[in-house]
Amino acid sequence: MFYALEGKITDKKNGFVVMNICGIHFTIIVSLLTYFNLKLGEKVKLFVELIASETGFRLYGFLNEEEKYLFNELRKISKIGAKTAISILSKFSPQEFKHIIANKKVEQLISVPGIGKKTASAIIFELSDKVLETDEKLIELLDVLTNSLGFSKHQVLPVLDKIYRQNPNLDTAELIKICLKNLRQ
């Protein structure tokens, strides 16, 4: 029904943002990656998914199509609803998630609340042929910035995702330098 919405972020709460589009304020549920990438007053485009349930309609928003694609693929799996899918995408960036799937890391998936070993195995089985593993350089960058330099994952993911998408061909050292500059602002 809706593909994307463009508007101004007028409020941010726990797990959702409010977007003003021509005077209509929409509540949009977002992953933590998207949440921390959005700033109040900023005009943005969010790729959205409208989901109807017994309790009403819910609008889910994503900064990029890749995250929206993974959200929808997760929801196709038995016992994975929108809430669980957004929890998974809040814990792992799309690149990390694809790495987990490609390397069959069940133990990492069960760290998400509500995901047990059977469900984690089902996710890996169902998605292994639908997602391609990301560049190892991105996983290495995340590791350096969080483990070696002490930044939190929630600080690093939005910055790293944005910088890496803009400069995928830079070497690791240069990407770290740009990330550090942005993280210290």
Looking at the structure, do residues 121 and 93 belong to the same domain, yes or no?
Answer: yes
Looking at the structure, do residues 114 and 159 belong to the same domain, yes or no?
Answer: no
DSSP secondary structure letters along 86-130: HHHHHHS-HHHHHHHHHTT-HHHHTTSTT--HHHHHHHHHHHTTT
Give the pLDDT confidence of 23-61 residue by residue, as tens digits: 999 999 999 989 999 999 999 999 999 999 899 999 999
Q: What is the CATH number of the domain that holds 107?
A: 1.10.150.20
Of all residues in the chain, the percent with pLDDT exceeding 90 is: 56
Give the pLDDT confidence of 68-100 residue by residue, as tens digits: 999 999 999 998 999 999 999 999 988 889 889
Average pLDDT taken over every residue of the chain = 89
CA distance 101 to 129: 9
Q: What is the CATH number of the domain that holds 25?
A: 2.40.50.140
Looking at the structure, do residues 86 and 117 belong to the same domain, yes or no?
Answer: yes
pLDDT at 134 over 60: no
Looking at the structure, do residues 57 and 76 belong to the same domain, yes or no?
Answer: no
Looking at the chain, list the stretches that DSSP marks H as alpha helix, in order from N- to C-terminal side.
32-37, 65-75, 82-91, 94-102, 106-109, 117-127, 136-143, 153-166, 172-183
List the domain range (segments joined by +) for residue 29: 4-62
Looking at the structure, do residues 54 and 97 belong to the same domain, yes or no?
Answer: no
pLDDT at 137 over 70: no
Q: Are 77 and 122 in contact (CB under 8 A)?
A: yes
Split into its structural domains, the chain has a count of: 3
Last residue of a domain, one of 109, 127, 145: 127
**HSE toward the beta carbon, residue 27, CA cutoff 13 A:** 8
